[in-house]
């Protein structure tokens, strides 16, 4: 059976000539279990390409601390930056859905040195902030934590500004650095979401954790 399986693997990759393809199709017709294998190969492809679909490719802390090294990773780094650019330009909550349609553009853009430069210059600060955040290296402003009890969240770790309501856990902090944001921006990192919210006084609020949009909206309304 292994021989058949290897043929199906080659068919899956489009690496058979016309006659071989015909024969392989015949095998699939006669051996229904081979279709199952094709489906599993599809799952494996989805898993292998998982990182391409990630919004920000966050590697070990050392990787981004040395920016030259990080950027020298070429496509991976450029893709990370460009994905970030696309994703953070969501104008408001109603459009916070991940704009996967731009993936094709990104795939084209990642091979362009100009695109890398522009993306790097424009979004450098924000990208670094997000990288810092997910590596627990962000700077908190020296102030009292915000009280969120009226929206159902308790402060469970004062030093790190961790809030929880049992279901959702997140870090919320006001940043020292000025980002001059005009609108809310949004990233994903693994199963967590990162929101940067401009406040009326010009400061920026960061929320990072397993948060859904409606919860963020409620929290932001409470703060503003």
Partner 1 sequence: MKNNNTEDSQLIEKAKAGNMEALNFLMTKYYPRVYSSLYSYTKSKEDSEDLAQATFIKAWKALDSFRGDSAFFTWLYRIAINLAKNHFQSSSYKKQKLNISEDERLYESEDPQNIETELLHEDALRSINKFIKTLPENLRTSFVLREVEGKSYEDIALITGTPIGTVRSRIFRARETILKFINEGMLNG
Q: Within positions 138 to 177, which residues make up the interface with partner 1, using CB under 8 A?
A: none
Site string for partner 1, 86-105 (x = CB under 8 A): -----------xx-xx-xx-
Q: 97 or 202: whose CB is closer to partner 1?
A: 97
Pairwise CA distance, residues 8 & 131, whole Å: 42
| Binding to partner 1, residues 190-209 (CB under 8 A) | 191
- C-alpha 61: how far from its chain's center? 17
How far is residue 204's CA from residue 126's CA, in Å, rounded to a whole number?
11
Minimum CB–partner distance for residue 143 and partner 1 (Å): 34
Please, what is the minimum distance in Å from the beta carbon of residue 71 to partner 1? Answer: 19
- Say whether residue 136 binds partner 1 (CB under 8 A): no
63 in Cβ contact with 70 (< 8 Å) = yes
Q: How far is the CB of 168 from partner 1 (least distance, A)?
A: 15
Give all strands of the β-sheet with 154-157 in edge-to-edge order.
Answer: 154-157, 162-164, 169-174, 204-209, 192-198, 185-189
Residues 16-55 that bind partner 1 (CB under 8 A): 16, 18, 21, 25, 28-29, 35, 37-53
Binding partner 1 by CB under 8 A: which of 14, 92, 166, 167? 14
Can you give the binding site for partner 1, defined by CB under 8 A?
A: 5-6, 9-16, 18, 21, 25, 28-29, 35, 37-53, 97-98, 100-101, 103-104, 191
């Amino acid at each position: 059976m292994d021989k058949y399986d290897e043929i199906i693997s080659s068919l899956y990759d489009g690496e058979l000539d016309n006659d071989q393809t015909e024969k392989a199709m015949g095998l699939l017709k006669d051996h229904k279990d081979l279709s199952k294998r094709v489906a599993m190969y599809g799952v494996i492809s989805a898993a292998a390409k998982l990182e391409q679909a990630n919004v920000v490719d966050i590697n070990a802390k050392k990787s981004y601390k040395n920016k030259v090294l990080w950027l020298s990773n070429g496509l991976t780094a450029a893709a990370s930056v460009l994905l970030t650019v696309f994703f953070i330009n969501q104008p408001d909550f109603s459009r916070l859905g991940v704009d996967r349609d731009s993936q094709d553009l990104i795939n084209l853009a990642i091979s362009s040195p100009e695109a890398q430069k522009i993306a790097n210059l424009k979004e450098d600060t924000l990208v670094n902030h997000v990288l810092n955040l997910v590596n627990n290296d962000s700077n908190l402003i020296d102030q009292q934590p915000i009280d969120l009890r009226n929206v159902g969240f308790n402060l469970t770790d004062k030093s790190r500004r961790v809030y929880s309501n049992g279901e959702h856990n997140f870090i919320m902090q006001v940043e020292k650095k000025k980002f001059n944001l005009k609108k809310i921006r949004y990233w994903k990192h693994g199963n967590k979401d990162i929101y940067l919210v401009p406040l009326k006084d010009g400061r920026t609020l960061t929320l990072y954790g397993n948060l859904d949009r409606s919860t963020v909206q409620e929290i932001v309304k409470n703060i503003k």
